[in-house]
Amino acid sequence: MVILACDSSAKPCSVAILDGEKLVYQSFLNNKLTHSETLMPMIENALSLSGYDLSKIDAIAISKGPGSFTGVRIGVSAVKGIAMGRNIPCIGVSTLKSMAYNHKNCQKVICSVMDARRDQVYNGIFEFSHGILKVIEDDRAVSLDELKAELSKIEKDIILVGDGADLCYNYMKELSNLSIAEENVKYQNGYGVGLCAIEAYKNGEYDDFRTLVPGYLRKSQAQRELEEKEKRNV
């Protein structure tokens, strides 16, 4: 199975092509350019340089959230557009779960964290056993205090991954079993999205361009502010 896998859920942007679990191509960009500028050119480069054009792609995978509302929308919209043109399956996966797949051979508990602002993080806690992912805590928005209390009860070594890793480590660095992933595997990337998508596809968990939607864990700030304004005007 050949998968084109993309991630634009946070500041980094990444595109990968996987043939089974073999990584054929991957690009990763972490700068100030917006995903509306970078994602489609990165996809075009991936197809051009890898030798796998769209006719050879069996499915397109995207991290559908949680994450930046704008980034997630850009990624999901791009994938839906490509899938519609070729009528191929879309596989939307959890951003937090996809990060864990970059540590498939890790013996530690994997704590995926993305900065959600307001003293909260988007979080999932995972562990691999014989290559099979075990979900300890599924995707959620949780306060730093709540997460610290939960992690303090885990006796195994814990590795923090995601753009909230430094934030969490500095907040709870007195936990002696806590460490941060190395820079090259700290963030979500296309390869992790692809590996996660392969498992989802095996389980029949995929969409088409009509049904793929973002997976937000909470309302956007703009929507919350609008609702508060409407309440005040009642």
Segment 151-177 shows an average pLDDT of 97
- In the block, which residue shows the tokens 């489609």? 40
Give the per-residue pLDDT at 234: 60
Residues 155, 69, single domain; the answer is: no
Residues 192, 92, single domain; the answer is: yes
Residues 25, 52, single domain; the answer is: yes
| pLDDT, tens only, 38-75 | 999 999 999 999 999 999 999 999 999 999 999 999 99
CATH number for position 88? 3.30.420.40
226 is a domain residue: no
Residues 154, 50, single domain; the answer is: no
20 is a domain residue: yes
Question: Is residue 143 very low, low, confident or very high in pLDDT (cuts 50, 70, 90)?
Answer: very high
Tokens for 174? 């007195």
Q: Which of 44, 37, 47, 49 is nearest to 8 (CA)?
A: 37
Q: Among 185, 208, 229, where does a domain finish?
A: 185
Dump the DSSP string for 163-201: TTHHHHHHHSTT-TTEEE--GGGTS--HHHHHHHHHHHH
Residues 193, 212, single domain; the answer is: yes
Q: Which of 77, 79, 142 is nearest to 114 (CA)?
A: 142
Q: Does residue 230 carry a pLDDT above 80?
A: no
85 is a domain residue: yes
Residues 211, 156, single domain; the answer is: no
Segment 203-214 shows an average pLDDT of 95
Q: Which helix (H) or strand (E) holds 94?
A: strand 90-94
Question: Is residue 232 very low, low, confident or very high in pLDDT (cuts 50, 70, 90)?
Answer: low
168 is a domain residue: yes
Tokens for 83? 């899938």
214 is a domain residue: yes
Lowest mean pLDDT segment, chosen from 31-35, 38-42, 225-229: 225-229
228 is a domain residue: no
Residues 20, 82, single domain; the answer is: yes
Q: Does residue 225 carry a pLDDT above 80?
A: no
Residues 125, 9, single domain; the answer is: no
111 is a domain residue: yes
Residues 70, 129, single domain; the answer is: no
Q: In the chain, how many domains are there?
A: 2
Q: Does residue 231 carry a pLDDT above 70?
A: no
CA dist 194 and 216 (Å) reads 20
pTM of the model: 0.92
Question: Which residue segment(s) compose the domain that 78 sits in?
Answer: 2-96+188-221
Residues 92, 141, single domain; the answer is: no
Residues 179, 208, single domain; the answer is: no
232 is a domain residue: no
Q: What percent of the chain has pLDDT over 70?
A: 93
Residues 75, 134, single domain; the answer is: no
CA dist 93 and 86 (Å) reads 20
Question: Is residue 217 very low, low, confident or very high in pLDDT (cuts 50, 70, 90)?
Answer: confident
Q: Does residue 120 carry a pLDDT above 90?
A: yes
Segment 162-167 shows an average pLDDT of 97
